[in-house]
Amino acid sequence: MAETGASPHAASPPLSPLQRAEQFVWLTARVLEQRRFAFHFLDGGADAVETALSAYGNEDGGYGHALEPDLRGPVSQPLHTGHALRVLDSIGRCGGMRVERVCRYLTSVSTSDGALPAIHPSQRGYPCAPFVPVVDHPPSELLATGPVVGLLHRNEVWHAWLFRATDFCWLTVESLEKSHPYEVQAAVAFLDGAPDRPRAEAAADRLGRLVREQRLVVLDPERADTAPVSAGYGPGEHHFAHDYAKAPESLARAWFTDEEMARSLDFLVAEQEGDGGWPVRWRRWAPGTALESRPIVTIEALRTLRAFGRAIA
């Protein structure tokens, strides 16, 4: 009698994008990104994420220790601290005394107009990416200030630091005439959290026209090699629709047609590499920084795909 059942040599079903990414994270990620992946995709707890994040905290209320991989060394920096706030926001813990301490740190490193520099001079003497130079008297930067202000407003945090920093963001966003993708991303992060919604919508509409007019977005990923790259960016350091509209509710979603958004998300799906992780598109200047950044990029890619209803599991 013939035996029934599956052949012992039958091929295993292919792994899903999420399963492939999970293997990549366990293989390469820092503890923080392992805990974040578990929280977002494996029913992990928020306490574990917060505990892992606390290892990057400093007594001044800021964060350092290469939390943002392109800045090395122990000292607190605005970009590290903004990264920490995004982590706390993503697990629903952006409030209370921990954020009060962060705001005191932000106050201590603010420029004369109440906003944040991208790099505080305390970074001098520690390794950092060559595209983030350290200067003695750094100017205010929307790049550092916008995401923090938008996030704090979205979480209904009220602190004296926010008043002047918010004014700086409005003035800068509404006066932008020429920009670059990372600055635009910071503007979107501010506008998505700004409490004055009609004003934010008007500013976003103008910003979206600027992005298209100045070709700061690749609308056809299959022709990305013909698109311009912003000054100071690395070869192929392009930005796509999903880099601006990270979720359907973002004001930047209105900048793109359904077809343009679908093409962008298709491209994001296809970017997953053979090891299960997503690539970094900015310049790599040290082996360790690229390795640490890829799990962060991978988690955000999966969150964006899920937010737009793409199947990842």
Q: How many residues does the chain have?
A: 313
Instruction: Quote the pLDDT of residue 11.
Output: 72
Is the sign of the CA dihedral 165, 169, 175, 176 positive or negative?
positive
Instruction: Say whether 63 sits in a helix, a strand or coil.
Output: strand
SS3 240: strand
Q: In Å, what is the CA distance from 200 to each residue of 203, 208, 223?
A: 5, 12, 32
- How confident is the model over 188-227, as pLDDT tens digits? 999 999 999 999 999 999 999 999 999 999 999 999 998 9
pTM above 0.85, yes or no: yes
Lookup: tokens for 185: 């991303």
Specify the pLDDT at position 12.
77
Residues of the chain with pLDDT under 70: 1-10
Listed residue (22, 43, 3, 103) closest to 277, CA to CA:
22
What is the per-residue pLDDT for 287?
A: 86
| Domains, the chain, ordered by start | 17-308 (1.50.10.20)
pLDDT of residue 62: 98
> Which amino acid is residue 88, in one-letter code?
L
Q: What's the pLDDT at 271? A: 97
At 132 the pLDDT is: 86
